[in-house]
Structure 1
Amino acid sequence: MQSIQFNRLLKDRSGNFGIITAVMLPVMLGLAGIAVDVSHALDQKSRIQALADAATLAVASAMADKGNMSEQEAAALGLKTFISQTLASDGSLTPEQRAEEEKKLRDATTFQTTSTSSNNSDSYDVLMKSTYEIPMNGMSAVVGFKTLKVTVESRASSGREGNALSMYLVLDESGSMAWDTTTIDPVAPSKKVKKQRKEKYPCPDNEAIMCERLVEEYVDAPNYIVKMASLKTAAGVMFDELKKADPNSGLIRVGASSYDDKTKSEQKIEWGTSEVSKYVTKLPAKPDGGTDASGALTNAYAALKAENTREKNAHDAKKNKSFERFIVFMTDGEMTGNGGIWSKKIHDQVMGICEQAKNDKDAGGNPIKIYTIAFMAPAKGKELLEACSSGKEFYYEPNNMTQLVQTFGEIARKAAKTGTRLTN
């Protein structure tokens, strides 16, 4: 009997469409809502993946830079970076909502770090996983979906990749290196300087008339760090970076020569940075003299040129299959010799040595690469060093101590090929 009534209902055209529509409408609305939410979720996943990648790269870079960062420190840095960037993009959150979202992210995010050391290199791997709940719209809720979980995973690696190299520093110790920079000494920010002033007093022969005399007194003045001290600090940062890249002194060899208008005794290229560090420390605190880099640059070229097998033999003995050659040429002036004016002859001579070095190819066809640093230098100095460099990315123009320190550190990292890469 019930079957007959149901058949009649199906054959009844008057309300069939309405009943079917009433039954199917929630389902169709739910499916439409899900389609919208899935599209939104994909956009959110892409955004969160980018933030996760940024966080793992930041952690991997920090681990390589510091060298001894603990797993707890790395995880804390990664969480801080990821959470702050994730929540920064949503300005509509109240403080309470922000705190709640931060707790959810912390609970749902993990960082795993792995450090690997070999004789000549260190590497750091960072793996991050996070699950993020995205609220779904009202239409999706009709069919029972209130949130959608999005999971992201990111992996980044960094390391001191074991780039064998021989480097020679050509450093300016001319008189202008005794001049002040624009950086105040944070340890002793002021100093006493002698100053003269005019003072009036009654003339001894006739007190009705006022005479003048110069009076010397000591007054407080800003204590700026001089260029030479800045150079020593910057070189120290370079040596620290090179030591991180080659802790066992089996990859990196460094030497140096300084100059004013004369070429000073050189530090031969040796393994590691200890000897060259001593050499730079002994540079005069109060330098003097003019500027002629030709002799020191000649020393650099002679030490590194391909026909001089000393460097190749040294690297072969350490089983370094290949090595790169670098000159780091720094000046704060223009080529004057022992005079006070620019010398075209010395300028051109230095330029010629640079060209010789850049054209010197090893067995693999690789030239000597020249980094140049024009530290608070005049126009002619900048012109020379830009032309001497191996290209735009090898030329630097630091105008204060902070920039000089950054420059030497960056050159060390570039030469040693320390870097960070995304591997997910």
Structure 2
Amino acid sequence: MISFSLPRLIKDRGGNFGMMTALLLPLSIGVGGMAIDLTNVMQQKSDLQSMADAATLAAAAKLSTTDAMTEEQAEEMAKDYLIGQKLQELEQQGLTKEQLAEAKAELLKSTEAEATITSTGGSSKAFVVKMNSTYAIQLNPLTQMLGFKTVPVSIASVANSAREGNALSMYLVLDRSGSMAWDTTTVDPVSPTKTVTQDAYGYYACTDWRGRPATCYGWYTETKTVTNYVTKIAALKAAASVMFTELLKASAPDVASANLQQEEAKKLIRVGAVSYTHQTQKEEPPAWGTTKASDYVQALPEQPTGGTDATGALDIAFAAFKSANGNEAAQHKTKGNDNFGRFIVLMTDGEMTGNSANWNQALDTKVRAQCQTAKDDKITVFTVAFMAPDRGKSLLKACASGEENYYESNDMTELVKAFGDIGRKAAKTAVRLTN
């Protein structure tokens, strides 16, 4: 017969390790799960913050460039932008349609946006877009052993923009590869026709040994009159001129004289330019006003040659304008400009090929990364695809700071319109985060 004694059981240390392991194992696993989740939560909060910043910046910029846009529309735009980005991320993670619908409902319920429009005198206005959002992040099964299923993260973002007479720094990054020598579909209005001489082979009018009219066969020189189309490089020069004019107008809207406008622009606007083939060409560093950049563009060769590689030119533009380089801020400070917009205008008529006729995926990937780095540094990127192939269009769509900053031009008229629009947007808009 086995007798039971409680005091003996308490004093007996046999099997203590197994008992303690059984008791502490769930806790240990849960703590390990929390360590994993901590990194994940911090990363997801950072990503959500970036999405919110992009949303408020986009809405604030849209307010300052669209007269008819209301505060309510800006608020909806900001919310749609944030929720759309988050759902796209979740879809890439493999969530089902039902899970995506639940996430959307949660975000709609927990996201608030507020936009305000304030008159600052005359036609000038200031715009503020604020956003707050909370999202519940799912914890992993290890952490859930401690009884925690989700953890909420909250973010806030505020973006400001203004209209009329804002200081800015702009860098033009322009394609001057061989295809820029090709014709557009626009007839030159000044010289609609031209005479061309070319070698031909076949029958042609000639004279025989006696000097009488005859018909000969072989090589001969043919001269004929053909339609004279504007080349792509000429169209680019005209479009850039329109953009510079818009920048000058915005700098001094009440001044009619171009010379006086240029003097006013030297207090607000700094413009640089760099061009590229498969090699990066000599740049024109940012300078006050538009004169030097305009001269640089007009001096581009009428018969450009070479392949296409924008990476070096983009490096030059970003190095000049990145926030870590204080030169632009110091230059604007001398003119009393405490805030200024930073813009890069990237234009191409092709795709990244390097020194070849074939698309180069490595160069395409690098350009995308460079554009993202610039956008992460809060530089606004405008892009113009001029009679470009699909891969060129895809690249520039990805590079642009939002759909409203991407332009697709299929003829000279559209190119001129695009550059004019860029000039108006840049000169009227100074957008910055303040959170």
What TM-score do the two structures reach when normalised by structure 2?
A: 0.56
Identity of aligned residues (%): 54
| Corresponding residue number in structure 2 for 1:356 | 373
Cα distance between partner residues in 1 of 2:187 and 2:163: 34
Cα distance between partner residues in 2 of 1:238 and 1:181: 20
Cα distance between partner residues in 1 of 2:237 and 2:297: 6
Cα distance between partner residues in 2 of 1:356 and 1:398: 25
Partner secondary structure for residue 297 of structure 1: helix
Letter in 2 for 1:354: C
Give the one of 352, 360, 381 matched to 1:370. 381
| Corresponding residue number in structure 1 for 2:229 | 224
Cα distance between partner residues in 2 of 1:319 and 1:386: 35
Larger mean Cα displacement after TM superposition, 162-171 or 211-220: 211-220
- 1:400 lines up with 2:411 in the alignment: yes
What TM-score do the two structures reach when normalised by structure 1?
A: 0.57
| Corresponding residue number in structure 1 for 2:424 | 413
Give the one of 174, 177, 180 matched to 2:180. 177
Deviations 1:362-394 (A, max 9, x none): xxxxx1110000000011111111111111101
| Corresponding residue number in structure 1 for 2:402 | 391
Shift of 1:317: 1.5
| Corresponding residue number in structure 1 for 2:278 | 261
Cα distance between partner residues in 1 of 2:315 and 2:394: 20
- 1:295 lines up with 2:300 in the alignment: no
Cα distance between partner residues in 2 of 1:387 and 1:292: 16
Shift of 1:194: 2.4
| Corresponding residue number in structure 1 for 2:203 | 199
Deviations 1:93-151 (A, max 9, x none): xxxxxxxxxxxxxxxxxxxxxxxxxxxx9969xxxxxxxxxxxxxxxxxxxxxxxxxxx
Q: Does the 8 Å contact 1:122/1:160 carry over to 2? A: no
| Corresponding residue number in structure 2 for 1:285 | 302
Give the one of 212, 217, 222 matched to 2:217. 212
Consecutive unaligned residues in structure 2, runs of 5 or more: 1-66, 68-120, 125-161, 209-214, 252-260, 430-435
Shift of 1:160: 7.2
Shift of 1:213: 1.4
Rg bigger for which structure? Answer: 1
Partner secondary structure for residue 306 of structure 1: coil
Partner secondary structure for residue 329 of structure 1: strand
Q: Does the 8 Å contact 1:160/1:244 carry over to 2? A: no
The structure 1 segments of at least 4 consecutive aligned residues displaced by more than 3 Å after TM superposition are: 121-124
Q: Does the 8 Å contact 2:169/2:270 carry over to 1? A: yes
Q: Does the 8 Å contact 1:122/1:161 carry over to 2? A: no
Letter in 1 for 2:225: D
Letter in 1 for 2:284: Q
Deviations 1:179-234 (A, max 9, x none): 000001011000012242520689x9xxxxx9731332111100000000110111
Cα distance between partner residues in 2 of 1:262 and 1:230: 22
Cα distance between partner residues in 2 of 1:269 and 1:122: 31
> In the TM superposition, what are the counterparts of 1:11-410 in structure 2 within 5 Å?
161-195=164-198, 196=200, 198-199=202-203, 212-246=217-251, 247=261, 248=264, 249-360=266-377, 367-410=378-421
Shift of 1:260: 0.4
Shift of 1:281: 1.2
| Corresponding residue number in structure 2 for 1:66 | none
Partner secondary structure for residue 409 of structure 2: coil
